[in-house]
Amino acid sequence: MAPLEPWEKVLVDSETYPESVHGQIPCQDCHGGVQSADKQEAHTGLVARPSDQPEIYCQECHPDVVALNENNLHDNLAGYWTVLNQRTAPEDHEVIAEMFGNHCSSCHATCGDCHVSQPALVGGGLIEGHMFNETPSLTRNCTACHGSRVGNEYLGKHEDLQADVHFRQGRMACVDCHTGHEMHGQPATCEECHTGPEAQMVAPANHRYDGVQSPRCESCHITAAIGQDDIEMHQVHGADLSCQVCHSVAYTSCDGCHVAISETTGNPFFATDGSYLDFKIGLNPLKSFDRPYNYVTLRHVPVAADSFAFYGDNLLPNLNALPTWVYTTPHNIQRETPQTASCDACHGNADLFLTVDQVYPNEVEANRPVIVDRIPVPIAEITATMNITVTSGLTTTNTLTTTEQTP
């Protein structure tokens, strides 16, 4: 994404914008200031980002959306605190909040960051002369923030790896799966599937993989559900595997993120020990009614015991409370992948599975819930254990004696 010129960031389209719905509203109603031909005077009390305070500047026209905003993960960043509260100690939360404000909070996104300008995280700037876009731009809004992992995977920017089939063949944008209701913080409702007394509102999500799985691959690929199509592997594995186990390819993992304040500029920054493409299948750490899979794809997150060392010693005393290899849904889906080539592409292939020898020694305890202790054996070993017994002249019984679980 090419950076905007300074003048492009602030230029309002004087022909198109006044004719739009928002163009009918006086500038001062949202941005403050005073009506004056003098620039300095006009900018007195200027509110540059009114959507930072939606309950003041957006509520009157968008009451339904603003009412949900406290549940909006882009706004409240609850996913960060869900993890930080488990890995840190209560007595350190004041300094953790300082760290969070200097670094993590830059991922906070407002209505304007999605519908009017580029996100502040990447420098901001009006996208189309202050026009309000109902549908956020895939590249100027969504992957402007979610670029290093999701964007590069989905758009096929990794060498020798194709773009996600939904983009490559369907030209689907993020909002084709991630609806406005989801992005605005609308909790899923049981009414989507149930119509009886059990149809109640589901609690707001505390992180992106909390609660009802939305979107679900099966919402569009209805026949992929077990027993409903003619693909043998769908029938054999059913809900044992997440869709990504078979239909994703290599994706980005990172190691050792460290945050600090620059002594030269005074600006907050972060640095990681490394970023690499990998593909790992592990046990499901979030197994539930909505995510019943035994095996899922895992991505390594760059947390380390000394990630916050700039702010103090031992600020992550409970690092092992959560795995560092986490549930992930890579955005690089392909119909055919190395895993779908044959049964033995996975069975007996230790490279695909997160076994204990592939985990950093100081992270083994944290990752016990997701480490695969025994990989599925090759198909030849399974068939070799079959006893064939002829019980009568025309009757043959095959008995599978292995107890191996086959993901």
Any idea where the domains of the chain sit in the sequence? 1-189+204-215, 228-382
Output the 3-class SS for the chain. CCCCCHHHHHCCCCCCHHHCCHHHCCHHHHHCCCCCCCHHHHCCCCCCCHHHCHHHHCCCCCHHHHHHHHHCHHHHCHHHHHHHHHHCCHHHHHHHHHHHHHCHHHHCCCHHHHHCECCHHHCCCECCCCCCCCCCCHHHHHHHHCHHHHHHHHCCCCCCCCCCHHHHCCCCCHHHCCCHHHHCCCCCEHHHCCCCCCCCECCCCCCCCCCCCCCCHHHHCHHHCCCCCCCHHHHHHHHHECHHHHHCCCEEEEEEEEEEECCCCCCEEEEEEEEEEECEEEECCCCCCCCCCCEEEEEECCCCCCCCHHHCCCCCCCHHHCCCEEECCCCCCCCCCHHHCCHHHCCCCHHHECCHHHCCHHHCCCCCCCCCCCCCCCHHHHHHCEEEEECCCCCEEEEECCCCCCC
pTM of the predicted structure, to 2 decimals: 0.87
Give me the residue label for tokens 């600020």.
Answer: 315
Task: Give the pLDDT score at 391.
Answer: 44
Instruction: Note down pLDDT in tens along the chain; length 407 residues.
Output: 667 777 777 889 989 999 999 999 999 999 999 989 898 999 999 999 999 999 999 999 999 999 989 899 999 999 999 999 999 999 999 999 999 999 999 999 999 999 999 998 888 999 899 999 999 999 999 999 998 899 999 999 999 999 999 999 999 999 999 999 889 988 766 555 555 555 555 677 888 898 788 888 988 988 887 668 888 888 888 889 999 999 999 999 999 999 999 999 999 999 999 999 999 999 999 998 889 999 999 999 999 999 999 999 999 999 999 999 999 999 999 999 999 999 999 999 999 999 999 999 999 999 999 999 999 999 888 888 765 444 444 444 444 444 444 44
Task: Give the pLDDT score at 119.
Answer: 92
Task: Give the pLDDT score at 224.
Answer: 81
Q: Are 113 and 51 in contact (CB under 8 A)?
A: yes
- Could you count the other beta carbons within 10 Å of the beta carbon of residue 53? 12
Q: Are 247 and 337 in contact (CB under 8 A)?
A: yes
Cα separation values, 241 from 222, 293, 337, 351, 406, Å: 16, 5, 15, 17, 10
129 burial (CB, 10 Å; 0-12 / 13-18 / 19+) is: middle
Give the β-pairing of 268-278 and 251-261.
antiparallel
356 HSE (CA, 13 A, CB side): 6
